[in-house]
């Protein structure tokens, strides 16, 4: 059953908005997003990443005493908390955007392909409210996926490697509890990055009735922006490309925290959210959106 059918079902004793008020639409959308088998499988695949990285580093751990191996691998072997950061670095360029692209691409296009979008909008359900619910559900999925990667990274790191006081990138040592707090800050920043991807995907989803096309187009857009970010001839545009500051969360692992890159990244991501949600709203409220 789609969110349209769940949300539009009349509720005895409450006929205004056909029972969609009081968060009923939001609850039904979240239930569908987080119980759909494909979406659960995506979370399971993402959570396996930190485990695979941790086991690989444990089995072939570099000799940290002699300074062998890449620096981030040495950091993991010295303190398991760095496995969470490394897992996010690995997952952010493709895997986390892929998961969000799948959810965002299906948000509107999936309803349209099933023919339930027209039914839902004639319930009636306010189109702005529907768009907001769709977007919030995608962002929450991205937040859960990010926190899952970070949490599995921390747990795997604790089980496989030594833990204790954390030496930050600036060389300062902080207590393990503060290291965990900084992990949450990093996860929050990554979630903000995924919120921008969600806005792009939601807009693309309003342009088609083919969910797989919207999913692929969203991911392709992200990958193209990452490629453009690496082209020297486009250096003047780099700072305004969505993925440019994604790894700026490394500044949160310094003491004092360097906010320049993080602040600019949040500004750019916020701009993408505003622009593409506005475009999605304009499309969603057009008369042919359910055609």
Q: Which residue has the higher pLDDT, 200 or 109?
A: 200
Read off the pLDDT of each residue in 141-159 and give the average, rounded to a whole number. Answer: 97
Looking at residue 258, its pLDDT comes to 84
Residue 20 has pLDDT above 80, yes or no: no
CA dihedral 99, 148, 63, 173 (to 10 degrees): 120
Residue 1 confidence (pLDDT) above 60: no
Q: What does the pLDDT average to over 117-133? A: 75
At 26-52, the pLDDT tens digits run 998 999 999 999 999 999 999 999 999
Residues 6+ apart with CB under 8 A from 106: 205, 211, 214, 215
Average pLDDT across the chain, whole number: 85
pLDDT of residue 151: 97
Residue 175 pLDDT > 70: yes
Handedness of CA 90, 188, 140, 97 (dihedral sign): negative
pLDDT digits (tens, 9 = 90+) for 205-230: 999 889 999 999 999 999 999 999 99
The proportion of the chain whose per-residue pLDDT surpasses 90, expressed as a percent, equals 61
Residue 289's pLDDT is what? 47
Structure tokens at 112: 């349209």
Domain segments of the chain: what residues?
A: 3-284
What pLDDT digit, counting tens, does each position of 50-70 carry? 999 999 998 876 554 454 444
Taking 90 as the threshold, does the pLDDT of residue 22 lie above it?
no
Whether the CB-CB separation of 241 and 231 falls below 8 Å is answered with no
| Distance from C-alpha of 106 to C-alpha of 212, rounded to nearest angstrom | 7
Angstrom distance (rounded) from CA 266 to CA 272: 10
Model pLDDT, residue 13? 37
268 CB-near residues (< 8 Å, 6+ apart): 196, 239, 240, 241, 242, 244, 245
Q: Which residue from 49, 70, 50 is spatially nearest to 60, judged by alpha carbons?
A: 70
More confident site: 1 or 105: 105
Residue 9: which pLDDT band, with cuts at 50, 70 and 90? Answer: very low
Intra-chain end-to-end CA distance of the chain, in Å? 21
Given the DSSP bridges, would you call strands 173-174 and 166-167 parallel, antiparallel or unpaired?
antiparallel
* pLDDT at residue 3 in the model: 52
Higher pLDDT, 73 or 99: 99
pTM metric for this prediction: 0.87
The fraction of the chain above a pLDDT of 70, given in percent, is 82
49-81 burial, b if ≥16 CB within 10 A, otherwise e? bbbebbeebbeebbeeeeeebeeebbbbbbbbb
């Amino acid at each position: 059953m789609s969110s349209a059918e769940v949300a539009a079902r009349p509720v005895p004793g409450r006929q205004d908005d056909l029972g969609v008020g009081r968060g009923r639409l939001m609850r039904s959308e979240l239930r569908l997003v987080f119980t759909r088998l494909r979406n659960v499988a995506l979370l399971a695949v993402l959570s396996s990443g930190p485990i695979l990285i941790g086991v690989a580093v444990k089995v072939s751990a570099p000799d940290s005493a002699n300074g062998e191996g890449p620096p981030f691998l040495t950091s993991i072997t010295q303190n398991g908390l760095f496995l969470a950061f490394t897992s996010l670095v690995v997952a952010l360029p493709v895997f986390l955007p892929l998961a969000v692209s799948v959810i965002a691409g299906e948000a509107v296009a999936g309803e349209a392909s099933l023919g339930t979008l027209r039914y839902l909008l004639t319930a009636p359900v306010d189109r702005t409210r529907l768009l907001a619910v769709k977007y919030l559900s995608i962002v929450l999925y991205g937040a859960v996926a990010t926190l899952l990667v970070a949490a599995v990274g921390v747990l795997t790191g604790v089980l496989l490697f030594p833990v204790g006081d954390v030496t930050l990138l600036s060389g300062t040592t902080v207590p393990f509890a503060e290291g965990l707090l900084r992990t949450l800050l990093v996860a929050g920043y990554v979630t903000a990055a995924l919120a921008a991807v969600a806005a792009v995907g939601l807009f693309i989803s309003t342009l088609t009735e083919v969910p797989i096309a919207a999913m692929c187009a969203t991911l392709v857009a992200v990958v193209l922006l990452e490629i453009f970010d690496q082209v020297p001839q486009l250096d003047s545009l780099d700072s305004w490309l969505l993925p440019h500051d994604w790894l700026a969360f490394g500044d949160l692992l310094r003491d004092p925290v360097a906010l320049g890159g993080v602040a600019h990244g949040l500004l750019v991501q916020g701009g993408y959210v505003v622009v593409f949600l506005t475009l999605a709203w304009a499309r969603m409220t057009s008369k042919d959106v359910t055609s």
